[in-house]
Amino acid sequence: MTQTPTPSSTQKPRYVIGVDVGTGSARAGLFDLEGRMLSVAKRDISLFREAGSVVEQSSTEIWDAVCAIVRETVASAGVDPADVVGLGFDATCSLVVLGKGGTPLAVGPSEVAERDIIVWMDHRAVAQAERINAMGHEVLRYVGGRISPEMETPKILWLKENRPQTFAAAWQFFDLADFLTWKSTGDLSRSTCTVTCKWTYLAHEARWDADYFHKIGLKDLADEGFARIGTEIVEPGTRLGQGLTEAAAAAMGLKPGTAVAAGMIDAHAGGIGTVGIGGKPAENLAYVFGTSSCTMTSTAEPVFVPGVWGPYYSAMVPGMWLNEGGQSAAGAAIDQLLSFHPAAPEATAIARREGKSLPAFMAEAAATKASHASKAVDLAEGLHVVPEFLGNRAPFADPHARAVIAGIGMDGDFDNLVALYIAGLCGIGYGLRQIIETQAKAGASVERVVISGGAGANPLVRQILADACGKPVVATAAEEPVLLGSAILASVAADAFPDVSQAMAALSSIASQYTPAGEEIAAIHERRYQAFLSLQDVSRAIRSR
């Protein structure tokens, strides 16, 4: 989409760009300093899958895609590149491994050097994570008591044990967002968001815990003074280096020296782009509903919630503590669920002809069949889904959990496919409720859910989530809250706002609110939620049999 900018007659217009690198694509959005997105560009990026939960990407491909979409978004908006004053990045919490001079190193059995990223969803390091958890080190208090194989130290330990030559040759281990800022500026600083949330950096004490690295088998990193994982740690939004280097600026079509902000994990950028509404971030749970889902809750004091990552200091909202939960598969779980149904191939073909994804097509079909979005739950009567295809990220921190589908019969028609979709969507909502209730019992309660992410864009989806979790679901005015979050960081790095909190309050606003339905619908969801909990219990009980 494009919109012609209308510069003030008294002040030269200024713009910022937010770049979001997700699991399957990279996107860039150009914003004015009132939070309006004037253009957006996107490029798909490759995923390389191997046996054994191996998922890899290429940092070279991602960098090329980022440069292309930045050029495109500036051209599409029709603005002068010289008027772009800041650039912010967010990305998945994936591990980038580079050798001397920034050359990519192969991280898997393919031996292809360009495949130098272990993607967040790669679970090759489950055994390493379990060994680390068995040690019970003090730093694990700040990751909900258990480290996840999606985090970076288990993955680096896997490299040391399984690809020792790659580990030894590695010059830098980067979180993907930090790789992008280094590539843009030459500055090796890491973001408190990335290293605190995924690497066990103790931001509240401004230090790495050397004892942890010695105990788990990564003493090399500690003995080197942490030079390969970050010695300069800065808050998101901090201006890095001298801005864009000559080479990066030429690749992006921007001016050298353009401010570049220390970045964030993609879900946390969605949080920055949403929880500022009303100026009370502690009341708002950020729910980023994409391939996976992330929940971000901000508190003034640390709250320890078993099975929920954190508390992390200053990892999202500066000066506040963050608890991070979520579902390892959310949008991906719906995709997987629908793929099992015999009516899915024909429905997918119809959806593609209409330019839609299958879940979006299902949401429209369900809205047509139901008299009201809240009544769509009736379509799933007798069908129950615990959509934990990729484990339970929170509140159990259980990578071995698996999905449960109950109530399937012999029906194979389109209506039954819609029913299965609604049951799966309810399951996502019940998982969200479980996280909200677990956090509330520990002292981190919220008033509302602020949603972002492509999988949560449909009004029917938002209403069912509100009904299922029992909290109002709020959508912000930003079309792309994750991109806005990175643009907010860019605006701070460019000195357009004094700090992230003020930029959040200025650039975020409510567009719509979805209130949980009345007692009749609430009673249906309460019964279904209890069934959800029972199915989880049964699944755990029979797993080893």
350-359 pLDDT per residue, tens: 999 999 999 9
Q: Yes or no: say if 359 and 417 are a contact pair by the CB < 8 Å rule.
A: no
Res 7: pLDDT: 42
Residue 545 confidence (pLDDT) = 63
Owner of token pair 């760009």: 17
User: Is residue 277 within 8 Å of residue 474, measured between CB atoms?
Assistant: yes
- Rounded CA-CA distance 300/302 in Å is 7
Tokens describing residue 472: 């109002």
Measured CA to CA, the distance from residue 410 to residue 416 in angstroms comes to 10
For the record, the structure tokens of 278 come out as 């009303």
Q: Cα separations (Å) of 83 from 28, 162, 326, 435? A: 16, 48, 38, 43
Measure the CA dihedral 312/316/317/318, to 10°: 70
Q: Which of 278, 284, 373 is nearest to 320 (CA)?
A: 284
Which one, of 335, 385, 333, 387, lies nearest residue 361 by Cα? Answer: 335
> Which of 1-10, 140-149, 159-168, 178-187 has the lowest average pLDDT?
1-10
Alpha helix positions (H), 306-452: 331-339, 344-353, 358-369, 414-442
Q: How far from 291 is each of 55, 101, 329, 456, CA to CA, in Å?
A: 14, 33, 6, 10
In the chain, pLDDT over 70 holds for what percent of residues?
98
Is residue 369 packed enough to be buried (19+ CB in 10 Å), middle (13-18) or exposed (0-12)? Answer: middle
544/90 Cα distance (integer angstroms): 39
Mean pLDDT of the chain: 94
Pairing of strands 284-289, 259-260: unpaired
**R_g over Cα of the chain:** 22
Distance CA 211, CA 215 (A): 6
Among 9-13, 161-165, 521-525, whose mean pLDDT is lowest? 9-13
- All structural domains of the chain, each given as residue ranges with its CATH number in brackets, are 15-264 (3.30.420.40)
Phi-psi label, residue 245: left if phi above 0, alpha if psi -120 to 50, beta otherwise: beta
Would you state the pLDDT for residue 177?
A: 98
Q: What pLDDT digit, counting tens, does each position of 246-293 carry?
A: 999 999 999 999 999 999 999 899 899 998 887 788 999 999 898 899
Contacts for 111-116: CB closer than 8 Å, 24+ residues apart:
114/58, 114/60, 114/61, 115/48, 115/56, 115/57, 115/58, 116/56, 116/58, 116/59, 116/60
The answer to whether residues 509 and 468 touch, using CB atoms and an 8 Å cutoff, is no
Look at residue 10 in the predicted model and tell me its pLDDT.
52
DSSP lists the bridge partners of residue 323 as: 297
Taking a C-beta distance cutoff of 8 angstroms, is the pair 400, 388 a contact? no
Tell me: the pLDDT tens digits for 318-351? 899 999 999 999 999 999 999 999 999 999 999 9
Express as a percent the part of the chain with pLDDT over 90: 88
pLDDT digits (tens, 9 = 90+) for 55-94: 999 999 999 999 999 999 999 999 999 999 999 999 999 9
Among all chains, which residue has been given the structure tokens 């980038």? 96
Task: Give residue-wise pLDDT tens across range 207-232.
Answer: 999 999 999 999 999 999 999 999 99
For 239-253, write each residue's pLDDT tens digit. 999 999 999 999 999
Given a contact cutoff of 8 angstroms between Cβ atoms, the answer to whether 237 and 179 are in contact is no
Separation CA 153–CA 58 (nearest Å): 20
One-letter amino acid of 343: A
Residue 452 above 90 pLDDT? no
Q: Which residue has the tokens 């109950």?
A: 406
pLDDT of residue 531: 98
Asked whether 93 and 197 are in contact (CB, 8 A), the reply is yes
Residue 38 is given by DSSP the state E
What amino acid occupies position 478? A
Question: How would residue 485 be classed by pLDDT, with cut points 50, 70 and 90?
Answer: very high
For the segment 512-538, what is each residue's pLDDT rounded down to a tens digit?
A: 999 999 999 999 999 999 999 999 999
pLDDT in tens, 144-154: 889 999 999 99
Query: At CA 541, angle to CA 535 and CA 545, rounded to 5?
Result: 125
d(CA 70, CA 65): 9
Two tokens at 284? 């708002």
pLDDT tens per residue across span 45-57: 999 998 878 999 9
| pLDDT exceeds cutoff 70 at 6 | no
CA–CA gap between residue 21 and residue 58 (Å, rounded): 12
For 54-103, the DSSP string reads EEEE-HHHHHHHHHHHHHHHHHHHT--GGGEEEEEEEE-S-EEEE-GGG-
β-partners of residue 243 are 241
Amino acid at residue number 447: E
| Average pLDDT of the segment spanning 179-185 | 98
In sequence order, the 6+-apart residues with CB closer than 8 A to the CB of 280 are none
pTM, to two decimals: 0.84
Name the least confident of 96-100, 154-158, 317-321: 317-321
Which residue matches tokens 């460019």? 494
pLDDT score recorded for residue 22 = 93
Write down the pLDDT at residue 290. Answer: 87
Which is more confident, 54 or 5?
A: 54
Cα end-to-end distance, the chain, whole Å: 54
